[in-house]
Chain A
Amino acid sequence: MILTIARHEFLKLFKTGKIWKLLALCQCLLGLIFYRYMTEFLLKSQNLLIENHPSLGITEEVIHPLFAWTALFFFFTTPLLATNCLTQERKSRILEIYLSAPLTATKIICGKFIGIFGAQIFLLLPVLLMPLLIAVEDSLDFGQFISGSLGLVLLLGTNLSIALFIASLSKEPLIASFVIFITLLLLTLLEWVTHFLSPTFSWITELALLYHCKSFLSGIINTQDILYYACSFHFEGLISMAFLRSS
Chain B
Amino acid sequence: MQALPLVSVKNLSYTRPQWAMRDLSFSVNRGECMAFIGKNGSGKTTTLNLIAGLIKPHAGHILIQGFNIHTLPILAKQFIGFLPDQCPLYFELTVREYLSFIAKLRQISKSDIPDHVEEVLEKLNLKRHQHYLIGILSKGLKQRVGLASAILHRPSVLLLDEPTQGLDQSQIEDFQLLLSQYKKEAAIILSTHYLNEVKSICDHALQFSTEEIKAYDFNHCAT
A-to-B contact residues, CB < 8 Å: 1, 4-5, 8, 12, 15-16, 92-104
Residues 100-128 (chain B) with a chain A CB within 8 angstroms = 101-102, 104-107
A1 to B93, CA, bound (A): 19
Interface stretch (choices B19-27, B31-39, B74-82)? B74-82
Q: Report whether A103 and B105 are in contact in the complex, using a CB–CB cutoff of 8 Å.
A: yes
Check if B88 sits within 8 Å of A102, measured CB to CB: no
Quote the shortest CB–CB distance from A15 to chain B (angstroms). Answer: 4
The 7 closest A-B pairs by CB, nearest first: A102-B77, A15-B92, A100-B82, A94-B88, A101-B105, A4-B104, A102-B74
Chain B residue numbers with a CB within 8 Å of A4 are: 101, 104-105
Given A97-B105, A102-B106; A12-B92 close (CB under 8 Å): yes
Give how many B residues have a beta carbon under 8 Å from the other chain's beta carbons: 24
B75: chain A residues at CB < 8 Å are 102
A108 to chain B, nearest CB (A): 10
Assess the B88–A93 pair: CB atoms within 8 A: yes
Residue of A nearest to B150 (CB): A100
Query: CB < 8 Å: which of B78, B89, B101 contacts A102?
Result: B78
Closest Cβ of chain A: how far from B30's Cβ, in Å?
20
CA distance A12 to B134 in the complex (A): 14
Partner of B107, one of A1, A5, A100: A1
Q: In the complex the two chains form, what is the Cα distance from A4 to B107 in whole Å?
A: 10
Contact present for B107 and A92 (CB under 8 Å): no
In the assembled complex, the Cα of A120 lies from the Cα of B92 at a distance in Å of: 20
Beta-carbon contact of A97 and B74 below 8 Å: no
Known pairs A100-B52, A100-B53; list 16 more (Cβ under 8 Å).
Answer: A1-B107, A4-B101, A4-B104, A5-B105, A92-B86, A94-B88, A96-B54, A96-B84, A96-B88, A99-B54, A100-B82, A101-B77, A101-B105, A101-B106, A103-B74, A103-B105
A93 near B90 with CB under 8 A, answer no
Q: B107 and A97: CB pair below 8 A?
A: no
Least CB separation from B92: chain A residue = A15
A96:B82 contact, CB within 8 angstroms: yes
Number of A-B contacts (CB under 8 A): 53
CA distance A12 to B80 in the complex (A): 26
Distance between Cα atoms of A101 and B104 in the complex (Å): 10
Q: Is B41 close to A, CB under 8 A?
A: no
Q: Which residues of B contact A104 (CB under 8 A)?
A: 74
Within the complex, which residue of B73, B80, B102 is in contact with A97, where a contact is CB–CB below 8 Å? B102
Interfacial chain B residues near A98, Cβ < 8 Å: 105
Q: Which residue of A lies closest to B159 (CB)?
A: A100
For the complex, what is the distance from the CA of A16 to the CA of B134, rounded to whole Å?
13
Closest CB-CB distance, B58 to chain A, in whole Å? 14
Partner of B92, one of A16, A93, A103: A16
Give bound CA distance, A107 to B126, whole Å: 31
Quote the shortest CB–CB distance from A89 to chain B (angstroms).
Answer: 8
Q: Which of A15, A98, A99, A100 has the most CB of B within 10 A?
A: A100
The answer to whether A92 touches B88 (Cβ under 8 A) is yes
B105 adjacent to A94 (CB under 8 Å): no
Q: Smallest distance from the beta carbon of B101 to chain A beta carbons, Å?
A: 6
- Say yes or no: B107 contacts A102, CB within 8 Å: yes
Interchain residue pairs with CB less than 8 A apart (23): A1-B104, A1-B105, A4-B104, A5-B105, A12-B90, A92-B86, A93-B86, A94-B89, A95-B88, A97-B88, A97-B105, A100-B53, A100-B54, A100-B77, A101-B77, A101-B102, A102-B74, A102-B75, A102-B77, A102-B78, A102-B107, A103-B105, A104-B74
| Chain A residue with the shortest CB-CB distance to B80 | A100
> Which of chain A's residues have a CB closer than 8 A to the CB of B82?
96, 100
Q: Considering the chains assembled together, what is the distance between the CA atoms of A18 and B88 in angstroms? A: 20
* List of B residues within 8 angstroms of A5 by Cβ: 105
Cβ–Cβ < 8 Å partners of B77 in chain A: 100-102
* Residues in A neighbouring B149, C-beta threshold 8 A: 97
Chain B residues lying within 8 Å of A102, measured Cβ to Cβ, are 73-75, 77-78, 106-107
| Minimal beta-carbon separation of B148 from chain A (angstroms) | 13
